[in-house]
Amino acid sequence: MLSNNQDVKGRGQFNKALLKKILELEKAIGSLGGGGGGTELLDEGNGEGLVIAGRTAANFGPVGLEAIDLSYSSFAGTTGGATGANSFVSGKDNIGSGIGATVQGLSNAGYGLNATIAGGKFNRIDAAANKSVVAGGYNNHLHGSYCFMGGGYYNRINPGNTHSAILGGQYNTIDHSNTFVLGSSLATNRANTTFVQQLSIMSIPTSASGLPAGAVWSNGGILTIV
């Protein structure tokens, strides 16, 4: 298993060269305007990563190998910023400790491998949740791998549940794998199921002709499965 500061074989030289090119370009642009570059390459024990020049070191953890940290941290600590290898963090008071994590917004934390938090506040992807996404919202917690949350408020995908999604809403809870939740205050009770509060079908076939097995149609107002 890769630690937070290991890299995928063969990617290191390319990423390092890319970071240096970005830094050189930034400094060149800055010098044209009479100023210096706004970022710098630092090795704080994990290998070189790109950070905002002159940042308050006491407010951040050590930047990860080939990570890009463009975030601001308002308080002292050792976990803030892009500490995971190949991670990217911007915004304020965010944590990106998972390998390849991307974290933006305010006070969000991406601990899992390839975790992505696109925005919002107080959202969290757990270290055991690999390759999962929170698009935004407030105080959403995701603990399962290969899962998605579109937004909303105080939604939960609990540990051990994978390949599931909550579109939005509030106070939804997933405790089963391969489930999909649409609405608010819903809790799953079985796997491989979509959960909704109410359902309106605005257009539905009125004949079974040409429909595949498992399709739903209206048989004189009665829902029927082919």
Question: What's the pLDDT at 32?
Answer: 46
φ and ψ at residue 94, rounded to 5 degrees: -105, 155
Check whether 105 has a pLDDT greater than 70.
yes
Question: What's the pLDDT at 14?
Answer: 46
Angle at 184 between CA 159 and CA 145, to 5 degrees: 25
- The whole-angstrom separation of Cα 182 and Cα 170 is 10
Contact 6, 99 (CB under 8 A): yes
In three-state secondary structure terms, 17 is: helix
pLDDT band at 217 (very low <50, low <70, confident <90, very high): very high
The tens digit of pLDDT for each residue in 175-197 reads: 999 999 999 999 999 999 999 99
**How many CB atoms lie under 10 A from the CB of residue 28?**
10
User: For residue 5, what are the contacts with CB-CB under 8 A and spacing of at least 6?
Assistant: 46, 47, 64, 65, 84, 85
Question: What's the pLDDT at 28?
Answer: 60
Q: Average pLDDT for residues 16-20, to the nearest whole number?
A: 65
Question: What's the pLDDT at 38?
Answer: 84
In 3D, which of 101, 114, 67 has the Cα closest to residue 86? 67
Q: Average pLDDT for residues 110-139, to the nearest whole number?
A: 97
Q: What secondary structure does DSSP assign to 52-112, as a single string?
A: ETT--GGGSPPPPTT-EE--B--S--SS-EE-STT-EE-SBS-EE-STT-EE-SBS-EE-S
Question: What's the pLDDT at 1?
Answer: 36
Q: Average pLDDT for residues 124-153, to the nearest whole number?
A: 97
